[in-house]
């Protein structure tokens, strides 16, 4: 009986460790906060992404869009045994997740890329329709020329 209890206790401890290690964080680490612009442009670019502790603000001239509900992806986002420096930020984590930012893209420190969620053709159920309606309304790829563009951080800019 004692061995069964030990086995159960060990299994529960392992399960708790897995849950904790796969947990996402809701605050963006300071090293990723600040202004990001296309890597080929200057920090004076009118097209940019501003990363705060709890939001992403996309800017194109006078147009802007704030995306909240931030989660930093946990280790489970990457393949098992991943030990690199990439980090992933997901917007509206509990919702439609319209944008995902990858920091240190391709294991290159200081490089980021944002991807905007596409409309899913053929989505006929209620959840799919709600997703498509939200993504269509935001129209991020049309409004902000940042989709899959390599970005650099403007040092000293917050």
Q: What is the pLDDT of residue 75?
A: 76
Q: What is the pLDDT of residue 123?
A: 85
Q: What is the pLDDT of residue 13?
A: 35
User: Rounded mean pLDDT of the chain?
Assistant: 86
Calculate mean pLDDT across residues 130-158: 93
Q: What is the pLDDT of residue 157?
A: 55
Instruction: Please provide residue 125's backbone torsions phi and psi, each rounded to the nearest 5 degrees.
Output: -85, 170
81-125 residue pLDDT tens = 899 999 999 999 999 999 999 999 999 999 999 999 999 998 889
Q: What are the sequence ranges of the domains in the chain?
A: 25-153
Checking if the pLDDT of 152 tops 90, the result is yes
For the ranges 11-25, 40-54, 80-94, 111-125, the lowest mean pLDDT is seen at: 11-25
Q: What is the pLDDT of residue 3?
A: 43
Rounded to 5°, the CA angle 145-95-27 comes to 75
Q: At a CB cut-off of 8 Å and minimum separation 6, what does 148 contact? A: 113, 114, 115
């Amino acid at each position: 009986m004692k061995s069964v209890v030990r086995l159960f206790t060990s299994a529960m401890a392992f399960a708790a460790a897995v849950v904790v290690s796969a947990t996402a964080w809701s605050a963006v680490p300071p090293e990723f906060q600040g202004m990001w612009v296309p890597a080929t442009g200057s920090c004076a670019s009118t097209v940019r992404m501003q990363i705060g502790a709890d939001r992403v603000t996309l800017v194109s001239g006078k147009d802007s869009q704030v995306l909240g509900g931030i989660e930093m992806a946990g280790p489970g986002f990457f393949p098992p045994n991943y030990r690199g420096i990439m980090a992933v930020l997901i917007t509206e984590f509990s919702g439609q997740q319209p944008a995902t930012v990858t920091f240190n893209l391709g294991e290159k420190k200081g490089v980021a890329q944002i991807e905007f969620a596409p409309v899913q053709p053929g989505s006929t159920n209620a959840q799919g329709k709600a997703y498509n309606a939200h993504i269509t309304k935001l129209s991020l790829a049309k409004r902000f020329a940042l989709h899959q563009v390599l970005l650099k951080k403007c040092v000293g800019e917050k």
